[in-house]
Amino acid sequence: MTAHAGEDLARRLDELAGFVVELAAGRLDARLEPSHQSDEIDAIVVGLNMLAEELQGLTHDLEGRVVERTRELADAHAALERLAHSDPLTGLANRTLLHERLREVERASAVPAVLVLDLDGFKAVNDSFGHEVGDALLVAVAERLRAVVRETDTVARLGGDEFAILVHDATPEQALDIAERIRTVLAAPVVVQGRTCWVSASVGVRLGTRPGGATDDFLRDADTAMYHAKARSRGGVSVFAPAMRREAQARTRLADELRSALFTGQLVVLYQPIVDLETDHVVAVEALTRWRHPERGFLTPDTFLSVAEDTGLITALDLWVLETAAAQVARWRADVLGDAPFTVHVNVSPVELRAPRFVEDVVDCTRRHGLAPQDVTVEITEHRLLGDDALTREALEGLRAAGVGVAIDDFGTGSSSLGYARRAFVDEVKIDRSLVSDLDVDEQQMRITTAILVMAHAFDLVPIAEGVQTAGEADALRRIGCRFGQGYYWSPPVTATDLELRLRRQRA
């Protein structure tokens, strides 16, 4: 080897060593240009260049994967956050997020308002059209609610058909304006999956009073106000007042007491005769519940029926009355009545009509007590029929097919039941006491009641006049062709023992 060649080799090896150090230091973009000799040193240089590029590529891939995984983790975290804070069906905030936002409002020293609303008529939609339509309705309602609030406000779904709106900072007028807008946007029907759904909302409003005040009870208070609104009329708005809390507490207490009353014999059934006006004979009775309250005395259903419905106790209550009355009629049949035509009328909440086993429960009950289905008539209050829905119709048809009678109570005071009456889903109508009172002295009253009787007969329904108090009213009813009556003129609701005495006298 010449001296020059030796120097050249030494230089190339020095460069190679420097290149290796650069790569080892992590500078993977470093490259060394090979000579034109294509010898072993060049082979190492080319190999190292390609290796460096390979490592650079792998590092780039790895970094890309790290970035991707980090993004996926961030996305998953965000999705979990959303899940923890939102309602999966509507995408609205959930209760947790609503509480967080209330805390934020406190910290921001704003004056918030909370609106809680509950859809009236949602259950009917769900029961009639199915849960899929019900869910789509909730989504549509959620969209409408979003449209009535500001960006800073929070719309939440609390569960079921209950929604809440937190108005971040509002005067009472602004909050009430939102409540009004809610009523307006929900007034238009919602068309989901080809079904037209009519809903309204009862709205409870809790107004803030001072900036930064505690908001712990806002949701509960708005809820209380919402129940107050609902109790007054569907689609109403109530602003919370402390008295409502006391009322709500009283209702809660009443519900607890009613629950135990059902199992401790505090409830009793009284029977008010239904009389054949031609013979003055008792041909049926209406079973009426009374509560012997240990402190408050004898309570009529109007004091506890709405509590029973709100708490779901109505199911147990209605069944208990049916059982008690059916057992009593069975005893009367055995002891006094024999085969004489006799029917017991029991009142049933319209909510119960939609219960899946309602018809079977009624029929089972008559069978268990050895009664014919015709011995029982189910009474449904006209103004409380919730509309023309499939489940109600099916229940009425089912009862009639089984032979159980169906009567509409308080007929003539509402309008929803006319459709049921016209389409022969019922057997009897009980003409409301307001149309019977002063019938013998008020000509206008006479004309109206006559017209209702004509209508009842036209629909092939048996009319029973309720609330008859005087002989004059009874005579007037006879004159206009009403065959049956019920009221204090003949008898108030009496105990089974008292009624039995009357039945025995009648038989004698």
Partner 1 sequence: MSSDPTLGYFESLHVDALGVVRLEWVGGLRITGDIAEQAMAAVDELNGPARRPMIVMGSAPTTRAAREVFGRECSVTRIAMVGRSAVDRTIANFSLFVDPPAVPTRFFTDEAAALDWLLDDRARG
* Residue 90 CB, nearest approach to partner 1 (Å): 48
Tell me if 49 contacts partner 1 by CB under 8 A: yes
| Residue selected from 7, 14, 29, 39 as contacting partner 1 according to rule CB under 8 A | 39
| CB of 48 vs partner 1, minimal distance in Å | 9
Task: For residue 247, give both structure tokens.
Answer: 């009322």
Tokens 């204090």 label which residue?
488
The answer to whether 29 contacts partner 1 (rule: CB under 8 A) is no
- Out of 20, 44, 241, 402, point to the residue binding partner 1 (CB under 8 A): 44
**Residue 43 is a binding residue for partner 1 (CB under 8 A):** yes
Q: Does 62 bind partner 1 (CB under 8 A)?
A: no
Residue 25 CB, nearest approach to partner 1 (Å): 22
From 47-55, 136-144, 157-165, 430-438, give the range in contact with partner 1 by CB under 8 A: 47-55
Quick one: which of 355, 282, 278, 374 has its CA closest to 317? 355
Extract the runs of DSSP E, i.e. beta strands, from 56-127: 113-120
CA 201 – CA 86 distance, rounded (Å): 22
Tokens, residue 318: 């209605």
Closest by CA position to 204, among listed 227, 181, 171, 177: 227
Closer to partner 1 by Cβ: residue 33 or 173: 33
Q: Find the binder of partner 1 among 57, 64, 159, 312 (CB under 8 A).
A: 57
> Do 163 and 117 contact (CB within 8 A), yes or no?
yes
Report yes or no: 207 and 179 within 8 Å, Cβ to Cβ: no
Binding segment (CB under 8 A) for partner 1, from list 42-50, 168-176, 269-277, 364-372: 42-50
Give the integer Cα–Cα distance in Å for 506 and 274: 13
Nearer to partner 1 by Cβ, of 45 and 386: the residue is 45
Question: Residue 40 or 151: which CB sits closer to partner 1?
Answer: 40
216 contact partners, CB below 8 Å, separation of at least 6: none
Can residue 16 be called a binding residue for partner 1 (CB under 8 A)? Answer: no
The nearer residue to partner 1, 32 or 386, going by C-beta atoms, is 32
| Element at 361 (helix H, strand E) | helix 358-368
Question: Out of 16, 46, 185, 448, which residue is the one contacting partner 1 (CB under 8 A)?
Answer: 46
Size of the site for partner 1 (CB under 8 A): 14
Q: Does residue 47 belong to the site contacting partner 1 (CB under 8 A)?
A: yes
Report the residue number, 44 or 140, with the smaller CB distance to partner 1.
44
Given a contact cutoff of 8 angstroms between Cβ atoms, the answer to whether 263 and 484 are in contact is: no
- Strand-pair category, 154-159 with 237-239: unpaired
Query: Of the listed pieces 41-49, 117-125, 188-196, 384-392, which binds partner 1 according to CB under 8 A?
Result: 41-49
H or E stretch at 33: none
Specify the stretch interacting with partner 1 by CB under 8 A; choose among 32-40, 161-169, 192-200, 256-264: 32-40
Q: Based on the shown chain and the rule CB under 8 A, indicate whether residue 40 belongs to the binding site for partner 1.
A: yes
**Which one, 54 or 180, has the nearer CB to partner 1?**
54
Q: Say if residues 490 and 275 touch (Cβ distance below 8 Å).
A: yes
Least distance in angstroms from the C-beta of 26 to partner 1: 19
Query: Please, what's the b/e burial string for 174-194 (b: 16 or more CB within 10 A of its CB; e: otherwise)?
Result: ebbebbeebbebbeeebebee
Q: Which helix (H) or strand (E) holds 274?
A: strand 267-276
Q: Which is nearer to partner 1, 52 or 205 (CB)?
A: 52
Candidate list 8, 15, 42, 498; residue touching partner 1; CB under 8 A: 42
- Residue 128 CB coordination number (10 Å): 19
Contact (CB, 8 A) for 500 and 329: no
CB-CB contact of 405 with 393 (8 Å):
no
Which helix (H) or strand (E) covers residue 418, if one does?
Answer: helix 417-422
User: What's the alpha-carbon Rg for the chain, to the nearest Å?
Assistant: 39
46 vs 480, which CB is nearer to partner 1?
A: 46
Closest distance between partner 1 and the C-beta of residue 33, in Å?
10
CA distance 254 to 259: 9
Query: What would the x/- binding string for partner 1 be over residues 428 to 467, using CB under 8 A?
Result: ----------------------------------------
For the chain, give the number of residues: 508
Contact pattern from residue 204 through residue 223 relative to partner 1, giving x for each residue in contact according to CB under 8 A and a dash for the rest:
--------------------
Least distance between partner 1 and beta carbon 57 (Å): 4
CA–CA gap between residue 304 and residue 315 (Å, rounded): 13
Smallest distance, Å, CB 42 to partner 1?
5
Q: Least distance in Å: CB of 99 to partner 1? A: 54
- Tell me how far, at minimum, the Cβ of 125 lies from partner 1, in Å: 59
Q: Which one, 45 or 254, has the nearer CB to partner 1?
A: 45
Helix axes 122-129, 131-148, angle to 10 degrees: 150
63 near partner 1, judged by CB under 8 A: no
Phi first, then psi: give them for residue 92, nearest 5 degrees.
-75, 170
Identify the CA nearest to 378 among candidates 354, 355, 344, 330: 344
- Binds partner 1 by CB under 8 A, chosen from 12, 28, 32, 34: 34
Q: Decide if residue 50 touches partner 1 (CB under 8 A).
A: yes
Q: What are phi and psi of 251, to 5 degrees?
A: -65, -40
Any contact of residue 53 with partner 1 (CB under 8 A)? yes
**Binding stretches for partner 1 (CB under 8 A):** 34, 38-40, 42-44, 46-47, 49-50, 53-54, 57
